[in-house]
Amino acid sequence: MRYLTARLEQPPWMRHPMQEFLATSESMRREELLGWNLSRDDVQVLLFYVEGDVDAYRE
């Protein structure tokens, strides 16, 4: 079986404020981008899996 593991990172200036929170908050233990769809100019969809403090995430 063949497989590839890749890790891509955005520089902070390119991140959405919520992405920046996930990347830098000590309250979050794990974050993973599961889906990304930019098929339309006016709608962007990002689906994340997140493990961490729920109250910090809600704020």
Residue 49 resides in a domain: yes
Residue 54 resides in a domain: yes
Distance between CA atoms of residues 1 and 58, nearest Å? 41
Evaluate if residue 4 carries a pLDDT over 90: yes
Evaluate if residue 41 carries a pLDDT over 90: no
Structural domain including 52 reads 13-58
First to last CA, the chain: 43
Name every residue whose Cβ is closer than 8 Å to that of residue 51 and which is 6 or more positions away in sequence: 28, 29, 30, 31
Distance between CA atoms of residues 55 and 30, nearest Å? 15
How crowded is the C-beta side of 17, counted as CA atoms within 13 Å?
A: 2
Note the pLDDT tens digit of each residue in 6-38. 888 888 898 888 888 888 889 988 888 888 777
Report how many domains make up the chain: 1
- pLDDT classification of 3: cutoffs 50, 70, 90: very high
